[in-house]
Amino acid sequence: MIFATSLNLILALAPVALFAAPTQNADSIAALIPRQDVPAGVWDRLRKTDALCDLSNVVLPVAPTPLAAPAQGSTLRHIAIGRGTQNYTCASASSSDVPKAVGAKASLFNATCDAARLNVVTLGQVTDLSLNYAIPTSPEAEQRLSGHHQFTAAGVPLFMLETPEANYGRIEAKVDAKSPAPATAVKGKNLLGSVPWLKLSATTDGSWAYKEVYRVHTAGGVAPENCQGIQGSFTVEYSAQYWFYA
């Protein structure tokens, strides 16, 4: 069975998606989680052992246009599945205007130990499947929350891996390189494609918990080619994996 080796990742993001097609308007991820009857205390035990996972054999996925490898001496510390929106704006509703990217906003769900327990194909499937469900907000799903991704007022990508339950640190980062998503990537709810894979490095104006972040296995998030019929701010849903190195 595809998720026999991982008790909770699919429960938090797309728990029954491998057995039945999602009903997007009726079934959010949060609504599906209670069906799994997770024993009391399991979430706490997993959270407490998160730092004990052996990540030494976990290999960063290779982008279609290969991104530079993590810096020599750096260590993989955290992996999260991001589920949220890529944000855009259109100055006018004219077909002569193109959408301008104005950042992103996502909830980050801890997949660190799952990356050690699952193969990369399965982890990628979970990332894809999560796009079919609403962003989870149930208490069970909150136990998986690593933190949030957003952009600063200056337009800098910010990852805050901080919750009332755990503090994994934060990083402000800049994009060093990008690669188109694979041709086989999920195209998203609007069927327009997946946002690029990225390599980001920490900005120099802070003391951050991480040195580098990779955005890989993206699903969705691409805006229309032009602004015809759209004016002002709008969002496109996406999911992705974020790999954090220190």
Structure tokens at 225: 């080619």
pLDDT value at residue 12 = 57
In a domain, 186, yes or no: yes
Mean pLDDT of the chain: 83
Q: What is the pLDDT of residue 121?
A: 84
Whether the model clears a pTM of 0.85, i.e. scores above it, the answer is: no
Instruction: Give rounded-to-5 percent helix, strand, coil for the chain.
Output: 20, 35, 50
Contacts of 120 (CB under 8 A, 6+ apart): 59, 61
Report yes or no on 63 lying in a domain.
Answer: yes
* Domains of the chain: total: 1
> Whole-angstrom Cα distance, residue 170 to residue 193?
29
Residue 55: is it exposed, middle or buried by C-beta count within 10 angstroms (0-12/13-18/19+)?
A: middle
Residue 52: pLDDT band with limits 50, 70, 90: low
What pLDDT is stored for residue 120 in this prediction?
81
Can you give the residue range of the structural domain that contains 109?
A: 9-245
Asked if residue 31 is part of any domain, the answer here is yes
Confirm whether 160 is domain-assigned.
yes
- On whether residue 2 sits in a domain, the answer given is no
Let me know if residue 4 belongs to a domain: no
pLDDT of 36 above 50: no
The answer to whether 133 and 28 are in contact (CB under 8 A) is yes
Evaluate whether residue 84 is within a structural domain. Answer: yes
User: Is 3 part of a structural domain of the chain?
Assistant: no
- pLDDT of res. 113: 87
pLDDT at 33: 34
Task: Tell me which of 182 and 12 has the higher pLDDT.
Answer: 182
